[in-house]
Structure 1
């Protein structure tokens, strides 16, 4: 190797080694710069857990999210304490004991956990600066307590994992809508997005749940008693627990769907405000002589009483609701429409089924074609339920009935529903075309006891295709003619007689050749 070639190779090696060292140095500085930026960003977060400075996205291990357990919000003249319950729900403990508005609390917590300061406005502000920023005193303050969970999600009782941060918030910057903020006892004034002010500046009413009437589960109730302007009524759960019955002022099956709708509409009423609940305020708001007075029994705990009133204050009509259960009471202003939720007529609560019977109990049916035509009687000849099995026509002529047609008629009679009502207990049913000679049907049990009876009357004026009818209740009913076609002659029900077998042709005889 010549000296020149050796020097050339040595120069190349020196350059490469220097380059590698420079690259390593540059990479190390870049990593340090990235770590410094990450720590600086962590310090800019509203709620610092301390874990952001040692763990983060850069090393592949995400920082633990804090689990909030307590909030103190001082805003708009209120100081509200909110705590996390064992089941994860939130509850107000001061100035009142009440359920928290879940969506509002979750928005507040989400803002605390995820938001950062957008800029540092002043590192060492003077008292005059703080007054200008609305921070002396602050317009609102939020103190949040949380714990940093371990790998198993535990740590609520570990003092080393407890974190508390207080944010003092001031005025809105009219230039960009941001809000001035100080954290804990730090002197610096920061700017945070306007969404931070919107999420944190919450008074007691905003943090409190507005659905003042729950819990009231229709499925658990056994009885409902209501006094309202349109009348009083009582409902009782059926023995099988599936439906409802009207027990006063009349006895009838209730429309279970309508009852469920009423209760759903009631518990969905939202409070517009929560006045102070005192004997004086109850009297002033008309709750000693309520417009609606309802009692619900059979649910969890003691019976629930709901009173509603309507008063005129300063020329404006307002409605109020008072929910009482045992020693617990909640008073709230509600929309005026809430007064009409339970104020319904008994007729509206009734089941619209025309006839009340069980299909499996029917063993004999007498159809009346009307117009003097003889009645058609069919009898079940089997023990099958649901109207299936074998049926025979007993009169006016005997024959085997089409059992599928009988099953269809029974289903139609059982499912027949009124489309409207006329008067109750009319003195003259003939006014509606309902007489002893009207078309109809009588359903009888195995012991011959009448289970239900239907009469079809005249057509309802101005309602083509609709007939007046009399069913199991005292009301004049309106029923759709097309939903029920009753037989008018035995042949409508009997099986067609079999055609006689055709005579066999005579056997062919072969002639002798």
Structure 2
């Protein structure tokens, strides 16, 4: 009991001193230290290093990466765009992570073997510069810093990893997140969207030969819309084309096999299932071939992207085969009418038969006239502006629910003729900008009507979408003051 009392008394005496020694213990150093010593408490924080080059040796390969104005790129073992998320995670650990603990300050060769550091699982050499107050210093030798980190075995107790820095004999422990970010091979560090970018705005033509369909698209003269050239000339659905390009460019590589003439032949790329050619407004055309082969009961799809003397071979998901394999109905523009909305100065609504059309016109304030919509005719007058604007919007947004017979010879069969219900849009000079004809109800689809618009196709449109087209001048005018009969207001 006397001995226990002495121990307790000793601990009581040493307690404050031990706590103070613990408080004075230096913080674990950073993985990538930009200064010889950690800054004193309360001093200004050090500027974060700007990394410019990374060499990662892991998974049996060496990957070289460089920062460029466009982002990180692999320079070895291949030239390719880097995966921004993988590189950002690696750089983030180098910038902020600290060692968890000191494991062994003077390890023996046997210790290093035990920690897996005789032949490290991964090694990262990082070059960076410490920016000055204005953010510069990339070319200043005094601001250059280089650190090489070697990672060994994982500590199964807490998931940490044994790490050593070049020039420092000490073995440290680092969090498992450090190993996860730094232990990366070329495939993990490389961007998987190897087909892109295929920006619709930069392309002038697209030609696709696929398993079920073949077609050719070309940029329209306005530089914005597309036209289908083959298998039939017509307006193309620009948004659908953009969606196809986005989906195709977003294909992820599952692996990057070694590219060679023999490999291409073995993978069936000399007789591809899909052969696509993209011609940009500037630069060399891009050709993409996709093939499908079955080996030992397993089916694999490969894609070869070629542009000039640059090529990339990748294994991709089987869905890539069908991304561009679409038919003409899907590629066609479903807009019923194509017209410059701001140029419309006259609308003629023909109720059908021999009934007189309902006509509204709009002058131009620039020509000294009124820009209000006016109803023509013996009972003319000012039209309800928002009613006409809404009708214009309806016509502009009208979409085909389906396409009917191609190359129609007898439109009368569908109730479409010069005497059918129609709408004509004209400009200030009376030139016809667009015309919509409405015909019979579609058999077994009473909610749809046959229609003809700005293109050569027979269309099916929703009957409810055109139900509000006016049939009389009263449909476009305000009610007379005082009520419908012009007399005293109705109480």
Question: If the TM-score is normalised by the length of the shorter chain, which range does it land in?
Answer: 0.7 to 0.9
Q: Structure 1 residues 217 and 88, CA, compared in 2 at 3 Å: closer, same or farther?
A: closer
Q: 2:232 aligned with 1:250, yes or no?
A: yes
- Describe the SS at the equivalent of 1:318: strand
Q: Structure 1 residues 187 and 417, CA, compared in 2 at 3 Å: closer, same or farther?
A: same
Query: Which residues of structure 2 form unaligned runs of 5+?
Result: 1-16
Aligned position for 1:376:
357
Q: Are the aligned partners of 1:401 and 1:495 in contact in 2 as well (CA < 8 Å)?
A: no
Q: Structure 1 residues 388 and 272, CA, compared in 2 at 3 Å: closer, same or farther?
A: farther
Q: 2:308 aligned with 1:311, yes or no?
A: no
Q: What is the Cα deviation at residue 141 of structure 1? A: 1.2
Q: What is the Cα deviation at residue 80 of structure 1? A: 0.7
Q: Structure 1 residues 180 and 453, CA, compared in 2 at 3 Å: closer, same or farther?
A: same
Aligned position for 2:252:
270
Aligned position for 1:15:
none
Q: What is the Cα deviation at residue 92 of structure 1? A: 0.9
2:37 to 39, 42, 52: 52
Aligned position for 2:5:
none
1:392 to 376, 400, 403: 376
Q: How far apart, CA to CA, are the structure 2 residues paired with 1:129 and 1:434?
A: 91
> Bigger shift: 294-303 or 427-436?
427-436
Aligned position for 1:234:
216
Q: What is the Cα deviation at residue 443 of structure 1? A: 5.0
Q: How far apart, CA to CA, are the structure 1 residues paired with 2:346 and 2:126?
A: 75
Q: Are the aligned partners of 1:172 and 1:180 in contact in 2 as well (CA < 8 Å)?
A: yes
Q: What is the Cα deviation at residue 95 of structure 1? A: 0.7
- Describe the SS at the equivalent of 1:465: strand
Q: Structure 1 residues 132 and 481, CA, compared in 2 at 3 Å: closer, same or farther?
A: same
1:99 to 77, 81, 84: 81
2:52 to 55, 69, 76: 69
> Bigger shift: 299-308 or 485-494?
485-494
Q: Are the aligned partners of 1:401 and 1:493 in contact in 2 as well (CA < 8 Å)?
A: no
1:356 to 316, 334, 338: 338
Q: 2:54 aligned with 1:79, yes or no?
A: no
Q: Are the aligned partners of 2:93 and 2:178 in contact in 1 as well (CA < 8 Å)?
A: yes
Show CA shifts across 1:312-342 (max 9, x none): 2332222222222222222222222222222
Q: Structure 1 residues 381 and 71, CA, compared in 2 at 3 Å: closer, same or farther?
A: closer
Q: Structure 1 residues 401 and 287, CA, compared in 2 at 3 Å: closer, same or farther?
A: farther
Q: Structure 1 residues 252 and 387, CA, compared in 2 at 3 Å: closer, same or farther?
A: farther
Q: 2:168 aligned with 1:186, yes or no?
A: yes
Aligned position for 1:284:
266
- Describe the SS at the equivalent of 1:281: helix
Q: Are the aligned partners of 2:73 and 2:79 in contact in 1 as well (CA < 8 Å)?
A: yes
TM-score calculated relative to the size of structure 1: 0.79
TM-score calculated relative to the size of structure 2: 0.82
Q: Are the aligned partners of 1:400 and 1:495 in contact in 2 as well (CA < 8 Å)?
A: no
Show CA shifts across 1:442-470 (max 9, x none): 55677876654433233334544222223
Aligned position for 1:423:
405
Show CA shifts across 1:59-110 (max 9, x none): 422123222222111111111111222x272111111111111111111111
Q: Structure 1 residues 182 and 330, CA, compared in 2 at 3 Å: closer, same or farther?
A: same
Name which one, 1 or 2, has greater alpha-carbon Rg.
Answer: 1
Q: How far apart, CA to CA, are the structure 2 residues paired with 1:388 and 1:284?
A: 70
Q: Structure 1 residues 121 and 444, CA, compared in 2 at 3 Å: closer, same or farther?
A: closer
Aligned position for 2:465:
483
- Describe the SS at the equivalent of 1:424: coil
Q: Are the aligned partners of 1:364 and 1:377 in contact in 2 as well (CA < 8 Å)?
A: no
Q: How far apart, CA to CA, are the structure 2 residues paired with 1:188 and 1:494?
A: 89
Query: Which residues of structure 1 form unaligned runs of 5+?
Result: 1-28, 503-513
Q: What is the Cα deviation at residue 367 of structure 1? A: 4.8
